[in-house]
Amino acid sequence: MTGTAAVTESRVASRLQGSGAHALELDGVTRLFGALAAVSGVSMRIAAGERRAVLGSNGAGKTTLFNTISGDFLPSAGTIRFFGEDITDLPAHERIRRGLRRTYQISQLFRGLSVLDSVFLACRGVSRRRFSLLRPKAADVNRVQAESILNAVHMEADRDTLVATLSHGQQRQLEIALALAGAPRFILFDEPAAGLSPTERRDLVAILNALPRHVGYIIIEHDLDVALRVSDYVSMMHNGRLFKEGTPQEIENDPEVQEIYLGGGHG
C-alpha cells in the first residue's frame, strides 16, 4: 500500500515537473552576511497555486529567504526557478514582470496618496501599457482593476481615505492590495498579520482564502492559528535551515511544534 502511494506520488511529482507546474523551485539557496549564514541550503518545491506557510523564530532567516526569491538580495549560492525559468540572478523588476510579488514586514506605503490612487498607481506601474501615449483606455482599465482589488481586500469604503490616516490594520490590508496589482501568479507575504487585532486577523484569513485559486503564495507568519488556516503546507525554519515540513494538521499535532508554540519558547 505504502509502495503504491509512493509510486503514485512520484508520478504526480514528475508530471508536475515535466509540465513546469512548479511555481517555485529552490535548490540549496544560501545567503551569507559575512560569517553568518542567514539562509543555509534551503531547497523547496512549491506547486502552482499552492499556499505555503513559513514559520520560525525571530532571526530564523525567513525574510532573508524572501529577499532572495524577490530579488531584493541575490543568494550567495543555490538556484531559484519560477514556473520553470531560472530567475536566480534576475533583478527584482524582471521577477515582478513575470508575476512575482511581495509585501514587506515593514510598511512601504506612500502616506500622501489616497487608498484608490495607491492601488491605481500600482496597477499602472505593472501594466504593459504604462509607456504608451496611444491608449487612453489604459487608465480606465487600471482604475477598474484597482476598484476590484479594493473589493477583494474589503477596502471599498476606504477608497478616498488618505493612507497616512489609515489604521495599522488597514495599512496592512492595503499592502496586500498593492501586491494584487497586475494579475500576480505568486505572492510572498511577510508577516501580514503582525500587529493586527483578532477581528482584523479573521478578516485577513478570509481575504487570503478568497484569493483566486491559481494565485499561490508563501506567507511568513508567527501566529500558528493564522498560518494553519491559510496554507496547504507548512515549512519551519531555524538558524537559516528548514527543519520540519508537513500539512497544517501534521504541524498542529507535532509535539515539537506544540512545545515551541504552546510552551512559550517561541520568540
Ligand X SMILES: Nc1ncnc2c1ncn2[C@@H]1O[C@H](COP(=O)(O)OP(=O)(O)OP(=O)(O)O)[C@@H](O)[C@H]1O
Per rule CB under 5 A, count of chain residues that contact Mg ion: 3
Choose the one of ligand X, Mg ion, none that binds residue 123, judging by a C-beta under 5 to 8 angstroms depending on kind.
none
Q: Rank residues 57 and 171 by Cβ distance to Mg ion and give the closer one.
A: 57
**What's the min distance (Å) between Cβ of 247 and ligand X?**
22
Q: Rank residues 50 and 221 by Cβ distance to ligand X and give the closer one.
A: 221
Residue that the C-alpha cell 478616498 belongs to: 160
Q: Rank residues 115 and 179 by Cβ distance to ligand X and give the closer one.
A: 179
Write the interaction track for Mg ion spanning residues 48-87; mark x where CB under 5 A is met and - where it is not.
Answer: --------------xx------------------------
**What's the min distance (Å) between Cβ of 63 and Mg ion?**
3
**Chain residues 169-188 in contact with Mg ion, contact rule CB under 5 A:** none
**What's the min distance (Å) between Cβ of 5 and ligand X?**
34
Residues forming contacts to Mg ion in the complex (CB under 5 A) are 62-63, 105
